[in-house]
Each structure stands twice: as structure tokens, then as C-alpha cells.
């Protein structure tokens, strides 16, 4: 019974170790970032370690951002928002507070990397928007995945495949749009050719009837002149008593 009691006492410790292992492997983070707010995440890193940070922020897509902001504030303020391009400023600090990396994120899904210095300890990765509005703040959804060491080299962006598929779909949609434009141009050219053909046919028929009418009139004139000359010659011969 005493041995069983010791085993029961070790269960919480075992659960805590399992939780630590799971927490170490599960590095993906999902959080909300209010506009103008700075949020920092702390990661214990080794000296001179390569760190890859993968992220996905749908609000960096301007179309998605306008649709999301419309549901919160209304269409009149969306027009003001459309002129402001959102960006996320990221800054990495070492354990002594020295800045070792800084950049502005503008793509919806991408990654950035940095290398730690010769200090071991807790590094801070801070995010903050580069815009603000006097009429209200946006609530930005942010997905984050931090990989370091060997995992940074072997790991891939978990959101890269959907983005690539979306890019392929957008490319196909663009090609379909271009094909529709080309078909519209072909229809317009075909209609123009048909119209020109009808005009040319009408002109040909009109010219044909004019030529035929002129030829008929010319024939009648020739017959009339010949008849007149024949009658006049016959009368002249009768007057001279030659006939």
C-alpha cells in the first residue's frame, strides 16, 4: 500500500512533465491584437540560435480587413479605412533589452527569421500595429508559430500551402477573366465584320442595280436614236423620190 501511495504521489509530477513536453512541441499561438496595442511573447533561447517565426494575419489582406471592419463600424467609416494600409511592426529584444531584429510585416501569410547573440535567456518578440483611428480600434487576429534550432531548419510554414492554393486559384480566375475579355473582343470584332459585310453587300446590290439601270437606259437611248435616224432617212428618201 505504501508503494501504491508513492506511485499516486508521482502521478501529478508525471502529468506536469507530459504537459511540459507537449507545451514544448506545441509552439503555435493564436491571439487578438488591438490596434495600437503592443503584445510581447517571451521565449527562452540558446546563444547564437537560428529562430524562424511563421505568422498568418488575415487583417493584412486589405479586402478581408475592410469586410471585417464593416461589420463593426459601418460603411461610412470603411471609406476612411480604405486609404490606410495596415502593417505590423515586430521587434525582438535579447535578455538585456537590446534590439536584435526589427521589421514591418505587410503580407497576409509569411515568415521572418533572426539569430540570437551570445546571451542565453528569455528573449522578447513584440508585435504592434503601425496605424490607429480616432473613431475606434480594430481587433486583429494573429496566428504565430515559433521554431528554433533544428526545428527551424526542418519546419515549414503551416499556412503556406493554403496561400499557394489561393494564389493558384486567383491566377486561374485571372486567366478566366482574360479569356472572357478576349471572347468579348472576338464577339465585337465578329459583329463588326458582319456589319461591314452587310454594308458591303448592300453597296454591291445598289451598285449592281445602278449599272443595270444605266445599261438599260443606254440601250433604250441607242434604240430610240437608231429608230429616229431610220425614220428620218426614210422620209428624206421619199422627199427626193428615191424610193
Average pLDDT score over the chain? 77
The domains found in the chain, sorted by start residue, are 23-156 (2.60.120.680)
* Confidence band of 57 (pLDDT split at 50, 70, 90): confident
Residue 194's pLDDT is 92
**Whether the predicted pLDDT of 89 surpasses 50:** yes
**CA 19 to chain CA mean position, Å:** 42
Mean pLDDT of 140-145: 85
Q: Which three cell numbers stand for residue 239?
A: 422627199
Strand partners, 32: 141
**SS3 call for 57:** coil
Q: Which residues, 6 or more positions from 123, have their beta carbon under 8 angstroms from its beta carbon?
A: 42, 43, 44, 45, 92, 93, 94, 95, 116
- What would the pLDDT profile of 202-218 be if each residue is shown by its tens digit? 999 889 898 998 888 98
**Whether the predicted pLDDT of 4 surpasses 50:** no
* Confidence band of 144 (pLDDT split at 50, 70, 90): confident
**Whether the predicted pLDDT of 133 surpasses 70:** no
Residue 56's pLDDT is 87
Q: State pTM to two decimals.
A: 0.50
Q: Cα dihedral sign for 108, 113, 116, 120?
A: positive
What totals of helices (H) and strands (E) does the chain contain, helices first?
Answer: 5, 8
Q: How far is CA 231 from CA 218, 224, 227, in A?
A: 20, 11, 6
Strands 28-34 and 139-148: antiparallel
Amino acid at each position: 500500500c505504501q508503494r501504491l501511495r508513492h506511485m499516486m504521489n508521482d502521478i501529478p509530477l508525471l502529468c506536469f512533465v507530459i504537459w511540459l513536453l507537449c507545451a514544448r512541441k506545441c509552439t503555435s499561438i493564436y491571439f487578438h491584437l488591438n490596434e495600437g496595442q503592443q503584445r510581447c511573447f517571451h521565449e527562452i533561447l540558446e546563444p547564437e540560435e537560428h529562430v524562424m517565426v511563421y505568422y498568418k494575419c488575415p487583417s493584412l489582406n486589405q479586402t478581408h480587413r475592410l469586410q471585417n471592419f464593416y461589420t463593426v463600424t459601418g460603411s461610412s467609416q470603411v471609406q476612411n479605412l480604405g486609404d490606410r494600409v495596415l502593417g505590423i511592426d515586430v521587434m525582438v529584444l535579447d535578455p538585456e533589452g537590446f534590439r536584435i531584429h526589427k521589421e514591418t510585416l505587410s503580407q497576409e501569410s509569411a515568415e521572418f527569421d533572426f539569430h540570437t547573440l551570445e546571451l542565453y535567456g528569455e528573449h522578447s518578440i513584440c508585435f504592434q500595429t503601425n496605424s490607429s483611428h480616432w473613431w475606434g480600434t480594430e481587433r486583429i487576429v494573429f496566428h504565430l508559430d515559433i521554431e528554433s534550432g533544428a526545428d527551424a531548419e526542418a519546419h515549414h510554414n503551416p499556412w503556406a500551402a493554403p496561400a499557394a492554393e489561393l494564389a493558384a486559384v486567383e491566377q486561374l480566375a485571372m486567366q478566366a477573366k482574360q479569356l472572357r475579355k478576349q471572347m468579348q473582343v472576338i464577339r465585337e470584332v465578329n459583329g463588326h465584320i458582319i456589319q461591314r459585310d452587310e454594308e458591303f453587300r448592300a453597296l454591291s446590290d445598289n451598285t449592281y442595280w445602278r449599272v443595270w439601270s444605266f445599261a438599260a437606259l443606254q440601250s433604250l437611248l441607242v434604240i430610240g436614236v437608231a429608230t429616229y435616224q431610220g425614220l428620218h432617212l426614210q422620209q428624206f428618201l421619199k422627199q427626193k423620190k428615191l424610193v
